[in-house]
Structure 1
Amino acid sequence: MIAKPTRRGVAALLLLALPFMQAHAQEFTATTDPARAQVTLPEPANPALPSLILIGDSTVRNGRDDGQGKGAEGQWGWGNPIAAYLDTTKINVVNRAVGGLSSRTYRTSGHWDRTRPFIKRGDWVVMQFGHNDASPVNDNSRARGVLRGTGPEKEDITNLLTGKPETVFTYGAYLRGYIAEIRAAGATPVVASPVIRKRWEPDGKTVTRAGGNFAAWAAEVAKQEGVAFIDLNEWGAKRYEALGKDIVATLFPPDPETVHTNWLGAAVNAQLVIAGLLQNKVLPEDVYKQRFAPDGSDDRPVVDARKVKVEAPRDPRLPSIVLIGDSTVRSGGQNGAFGWGERLGAFFDTSKVNIVNNAIGGRSSRTFFTEGRWAAVLEQLKAGDWLLIQFGHNDGARIGDPASKNRGSVPGIGPETVEDTRPDGTKEMVQSFGWYLARYITDAKARGANVVVLSPIPHKDRWKPDQPRDFENYAAWGEQVARAHGAQFVDLTMLVATAYRAAGAETVDGLFSDARTHTNDAGARFNAAQVVEGLKRLPKQNFSALLAKP
């Protein structure tokens, strides 16, 4: 249930890395030059499992993989957060990348020789080089550059750094060498182009693609060798353009940094890698804990609403609190995830009120309506009931993009519509987020029910005081529609964010079942408590009289 990556739903996301050392700024020694240092790298946690092994530079693994002790604002590579999206009880994620290296020096430094013994039949190896390959071929600081292109060209040099003779090959030749050795070990190679830099064209809207053609050469080698290719350069550029310049700035440490992402930016890149693995059908389906399309939307199959039974009130004689929403309200324990609506009943006296959770995972305000789920729920509403509405996580999906599963609603609360094409070729006029909310409110009030609109629960990475508030637009739209149509509003986003701040980061980390969106059982209970607090504050509703006694 990751929404389209916009200012409203930016992801984005998870974890770790360190900066390239500047050759002109310091003298390199065996302890500071990664080509000569004996860096401690992780090994497969469970040798009996298959492994996803990563090789590359600091945009994959930075330094000690600890953010330089600066937390989320330090420099991180995507090779750390990617583990949170995979089931590590079924697959090892082994990040053997080393900051400062190129496709050439990863081999000549001996790091490849130290990594190769861990590669076994049935493993997968993702390689991502290029950021350092454009450096000088021969100098007395790094001597890490390669010959440009993918051909057979080579150059014999006396390495000014090591004093030894060396034959330098093209970028493509080094990639082909890794591919051949990975295949010889019975493993599957995957080539990724370098991650995109934070560089904008003069219009401020277009991202500058990779220079030097390393992205194109990576694609060329992958095609020639018949291996999976993940275009992190182009996908990253498109995603940054969708996010916008201001949001992209939050994915990096302060300027002048343009290459190394912070914790959030690393998660964005990790999501793109997951999208590439999925698109190329590289890993078994059951190892993914969370799935993404290249635009950042959730790529998990959406369950057929017709197969999910509409929940009925336990005692029709009692008033009901009826919930509609997405998987943050009801996840059903899938991959350890539970929504707050599944734990709300523990706070109420069920001899006085029914709790009826008819939320369904993967839904937006639009699809809950168009798939007929709302019509079925509406039939059960009666005078004196309460309807609680929480949508927004999936509404930001891109209209017209098949990866978005026809979930996106038009931004805002107005009468604007956008035509979308369904998988069967039929056309749908998509309404605004506010239009769908207004329809739920007016339909429910016509049956005599009370209505409360709640803004979405915040993401795991968007609750701290120094971060932009999550779901700002959806909260504003929800409040406007509620007031205009006689409903009440609870800013659940900020209620939960405030409670997270009081609890602290360590506690909050333990409340989620995945990288950023879905809560576990403890998180569902925690958020349900905030929902109750919000309901208690509403005027003229007297929810307190329905609560269970402590």
Structure 2
Amino acid sequence: MNALTTRRAAALLLALSLLPAHAQEFTATTDPARAQITLPEPAKPDLPSLILIGDSTVRNGRDDGQGKGAEGQWGWGNPIAAYFDLNKINVVNRAVGGLSSRTYRSSGHWDRTKPFIKKGDWVVMQFGHNDTSPVNDNSRARGVLRGTGPEKEDINNLLTGKPETVYTYGAYLRGYIAEIRAAGATPVVCSPVIRKRWEADGVKVTRAGGNFAAWAAEVAKQENVAFIDLNEWGALRYEALGKEAVEKFFPADMPQETVHTNWLGAAINAQLVIAGLIQNKVLPDAVYTRRFASDGSDERPVVDARKVKVEAPRDPKLPSLVLIGDSTVRSGGQNGAYGWGERLAAFFDTQRINIVNNAIGGRSSRTFFTEGRWASVLEQLKPGDTLLIQFGHNDGARIGDPAGKNRGSVPGVGPEAVEDTRPDGTKEMVQSFGWYLARYINDAKAKGANAVVLSPIPHKDRWKPEQPRDFENYAAWGEQVARANGAQFIDLTMLITDAYRKVGAERVESFFSDARTHTNDAGAVFNATQVVEGLKRLPGQPLQGFLRPAAP
């Protein structure tokens, strides 16, 4: 038996020795180590699973932001699910707030999680924030012995009233690693996420005290498992963004909070975890929703608007149907993707009307305006033209998050504005999604053109009857702005959703060129058909006279 095998065997024996001698009696209490907490299970047990264990920085409370929306407290285990194709992998966040590497096990939460771990799964663990607590008290009794060695301490637990042997932080991590491997799964170790604590200069971030990050790295190296340094990587990210920007990552109503992030902060940490998984080649590429760069950001380039000419009407004397939007309206065949706007002309008599598709990939309602593309489109609009507006897919990017590529708009339709910093250091006041839509509508009306707002096309995994409707907020905001500003509205999300439900999953699967967003040629034709159906249903049928007698 070689040294590595001996060490793993010893770790497994240690893990077994850590198991409680008998089932624990759970009581209704605010202590999460003793409470019976309902945790998610794999949605599709036949698929491989990415299982997360840890504390509140991974899963906070009931994982609902305490009812405060994006400004509540969130762990990174929630936003990370958006990076994965949930038709190929389960993302199961079984972290519990308030627990340590010790009490996640001693409470019985680990025993309830293990049955869901099977061969071919991956388990990501992140502990440390609560491990610094006292080893023995009558409040939480969740602390561990410092270090990674074999030291142990026998105590009479003041909280439970029972004898317990407490081990080192490293010993608990090795115990999880051994049992995960025994189940045929792959373990991954994360250091604790960085705290929002600045040095006196206000420029450098204080790394984790107590060496828990270093100990996590040491155990990962000893056990030859992937390690993700959320402590160091998070500190570097915070330092690059600066103190003012980092404040936006934490709940606004809790200025003294240094650990628990809001949704934006959780999304930043999730991106770092993704970067670690990619760099360590932990998961196959096929389980991700799209390709990501090694820093966890979207690898797809945002099309350079300067290199894409603004399309002009073929015959300026004819009325034009002008389209503005993102890559779901025009993808240009990149990686086999086409938007519905590229297949719309076949439905119209182009000897009587121009079809002018000025959508551009990677744009939001905000960037289509701020980059100057709208000004060029507006210059060509004339009385009698019709403008179709479809944004939303990229508007959800987090303001202040570099991975969002300065695309996010403020949620809603109001006058609120948020300052954002561009890559060149200049500041931009970002308006609401509704503000940008209203600008397009009113600018078009001033030129004598009509405007129609369309809600975004649905994702491939968000159309089935048992699922909540896709883009609910953006559809509601789009309709509200259209009605308030004298435009018309088409709920394209639901038109396509209903059509998908009629043709079924097998055919819908054949409509996409990527995991969930971009359609291929067949999908573009199918969605264009629904756009035409929506136009036919508009009051007064303003474009009916331009349609071909027999649509393809």
TM-score bucket of the superposed structures, by smaller chain? 0.5 to 0.7
Aligned to 2:408: 458
The secondary structure found in structure 2 opposite 1:215 is helix
User: What's the CA shift for 1:528?
Assistant: 12
Give the 3 Å change call, closer, same or farther, for CA 185–57 of structure 1 in structure 2: same
Give CA deviations for 1:262-304 in whole Å, capped at 9, x if unaligned: 1222122112212221222222212212555575632x25599
The secondary structure found in structure 2 opposite 1:82 is helix
What does residue 120 of structure 2 align with?
122
Which residue in the other structure is 2:207 paired with?
A: 209
In structure 2, the residue matched to 1:141 is 139
SS of structure 1 residue aligned to 2:149: coil
Q: Letter of the 2:160 partner, please give it.
A: T
1:85 aligns with 2:94: no
2:418 to 460, 463, 469: 469
- Per the alignment, in what secondary structure is the counterpart of residue 94 of structure 1? strand
- The answer to whether the Cα contact below 8 Å between 2:438 and 2:481 also exists between their aligned partners in 1 is no
Higher deviation after alignment, 142-151 or 268-277:
268-277
Aligned twin of 2:278: 278
Give the Cα separation in 1 of the matches to 2:160 and 2:69: 36
Q: Tell me which residue corresponds to 1:265.
A: 265
How far did 1:475 drift? 13
Look up the SS of the partner of 1:266 in the other structure: helix
SS in 2 for 1:272: helix
Compared with structure 1, are the counterparts of its residues 69 and 362 closer, same or farther at alpha carbon in structure 2 (3 Å cutoff)?
A: closer
Question: 5 Å matches for 1:150-549?
Answer: 150-253=148-251, 254-290=254-290, 292-293=292-293, 297-298=297-298, 300=299, 302=301, 315=314, 327=327, 330-331=330-331, 351-357=352-358, 359-360=360-361, 458-459=408-409, 462-463=411-412, 468-469=417-418, 495-496=435-436, 513=459, 549=543
3-state SS in 2 of match to 1:52: strand
Long gaps (5+) in structure 2? 1-25, 365-372, 382-386, 441-452, 462-469, 488-540, 545-552
Deviations 1:411-470 (A, max 9, x none): xxxxxxxxxxxxxxxxxxxxxxxxxxxxxxxxxxxxxxxxxxxxx8634x6557596537
What's the CA shift string for 1:384-424, capped at 9, x where partnerless? 968x9x9xx99x9xxxxxx99xx99xxxxxxxxxxxxxxxx
Q: C-alpha deviations, 1:218-270, integer Å up to 9, x for none? A: 11111111111111111211222222222221221122211111122212211
1:96-134 CA-partner distances (Å, limit 9, x unpaired): 111100001101111101100100001110000000001
Partner residue of 2:505?
none
Counterparts of 1:548 and 1:267, CA distance in 2: 43
User: Which runs of 5 or more residues in structure 1 are unaligned?
Assistant: 1-27, 364-373, 375-380, 397-402, 409-455, 480-489, 501-506, 537-546
Query: Structure 1 residues 521, 157: CA separation in 2 closer, same or farther (over 3 Å shift)?
Result: closer
Which of 55, 72, 75 is residue 74 of structure 1 equivalent to? Answer: 72
**Greater relative contact order (CA < 8 Å, ≥ 6 in sequence):** 1
The one-letter code of the counterpart of 2:108 is G
SS of the residue corresponding to residue 255 of structure 1 reads coil
Partner of 2:56: 58
Structure-2 separation of matches of 1:224 and 1:169: 17
Deviation at 1:549, TM superposition (A): 3.9
One of 39, 42, 45 as aligned partner of 2:43: 45
Q: Is the 8 A contact 1:193 1:233 kept in 2?
A: yes
Q: Does the CA-based 8 Å contact 1:458-1:470 persist in structure 2?
A: no
Shift of 1:511: 6.7
Q: What are the superposed Cα offsets for residues 126-172 of structure 1, whole Å, 9 maximum, x if unpaired?
A: 00000000111111111111111112221222212122222111111
| Number of residue pairs the alignment of both structures matches | 412
Cα distance change, pair 549–116 in 1 and its aligned pair in 2 (3 A)? same
TM-score (norm 1): 0.61
Give the counterpart letter for 1:289 in structure 2.
T
User: Residue type of the partner of 1:274?
Assistant: I
Q: Secondary structure at the match of 1:273?
A: helix
- Residues 323 and 341 in structure 1, CA contact (< 8 A), matched pair in contact too: yes
Inter-partner Cα distance in structure 1 for 2:454 and 2:172: 43
How many percent identity over aligned positions?
67
Which 10-residue stretch deviates more, 201-210 or 344-353? 344-353
- Whichever residue aligns with residue 66 of structure 1, its letter is D
- Residues 328-362 of structure 1: CA deviation (Å, up to 9, x unaligned): 87447999998797699899995343414484559
State the one-letter code of the partner of 1:282.
V
Query: Following TM superposition, by how much is the alpha carbon of 1:181 offset from its aligned partner in structure 2, in angstroms?
Result: 0.6
Shift of 1:510: 7.7
Give the AA of the match of 2:83: Y
* Separation of aligned partners in 2, 1:268 and 1:47: 29
In 2, Cα distance between the equivalents of 1:249 and 1:57?
A: 22
Which stretch has the larger CA shift, 110-119 or 234-243? 234-243
The alpha-carbon distance between structure 1 residues 331 and 112, as it changes in their structure 2 partners (threshold 3 A), is farther
- What one-letter code is carried by the residue in structure 2 that aligns with 1:353? N
1:325 Cα deviation after fit:
9.6
Contact 1:337–1:521 under 8 Å retained in 2: no
Residue 157 of structure 1: SS of its match in structure 2? strand
Task: Mark the CA change 1:474 to 1:184 in structure 2 (over 3 Å): closer, same or farther.
Answer: closer
Counterpart code for 1:221: V
Distance 2:280 2:125 in 1: 15
Matched residues in 2 for 1:250 and 1:205: separation? Answer: 16
Alignment of 1:85-124 (within 5 A): 85-124=83-122
Q: Helix, strand or coil for the counterpart of 1:155?
A: strand
Q: Deviations over 1:75-97 (max 9, x none)?
A: 11111111122111111111111
SS at match of 1:190: strand
Structure 2 counterpart SS, 1:212 = helix
Distance in 2 separating the partners of 1:275 and 1:339: 29
1:35 lines up with 2:36 in the alignment = no
Q: Equivalents in 2 of 1:314, 1:466: separation in Å? A: 34
Amino acid at match of 2:435: L
Going from structure 1 to structure 2, the CA distance change for 1:78 and 1:521 (only over 3 Å counts) comes to: closer
Check whether the contact 1:347–1:548 (CA below 8 A) recurs between aligned residues. no
